[in-house]
Amino acid sequence: MMIARGLIHLNLSAAGEEISEFHLQAGIASCHCTAGSYQGTDWTRILCLYDLLIEINRSPVIALNRAVAVSHVHGPAAASAAIDAIPEKRMLENYYLFHAVVAQIHLELNDLEFATREFQRARELTGSNSERAFLEKRLKECKAWLAA
């Protein structure tokens, strides 16, 4: 019910001639919340919306989120290149999600040692117990694959 109401308002807001950062963020959120499953997420549309959003707001966090969409559409090598191209990437060094995303991309590239180090760094930086538990699980999986 709330999602349907939000989509109605999103459509009404699109009646103007300008697209704002908020329209694009709402569009991205709507793609996520209307997907029937994670696998059914329209990553191509999300990437298109991030491409528009990055033109309005060049935040390193937005560029990182865009890299996640790049990974789903074009694969982990393209996502790694997108991360390498983030301007002001140093601003993300203490952001645990930066390290978690980098770790996941390197895991998909079968660079288990690098992924392990990045999952460790992400675990160290998070203040959330649930995120720490999730990252610990991913870290154990990486270590098990390395030992195999």
For the stretch 2-41, pLDDT in tens is 666 765 555 656 566 788 899 899 999 999 999 999 899 9
Q: Which domains does the chain have, with CATH numbers?
A: 1-57 (no CATH), 64-148 (1.25.40)
Task: Give tens-digit pLDDT for 50-75.
Answer: 999 999 999 999 999 999 999 999 99
**Which residue blocks in the chain are alpha helix, DSSP H?**
2-13, 21-34, 43-56, 60-74, 76-84, 96-108, 112-125, 129-147
46 closest CA partner among 19, 73, 84, 21? 73
Give 148's pLDDT tier (boundaries 50, 70, 90): confident
What SS3 state is found at 94?
coil
Task: Give tens-digit pLDDT for 104-136.
Answer: 999 999 999 999 999 999 999 999 999 999 999
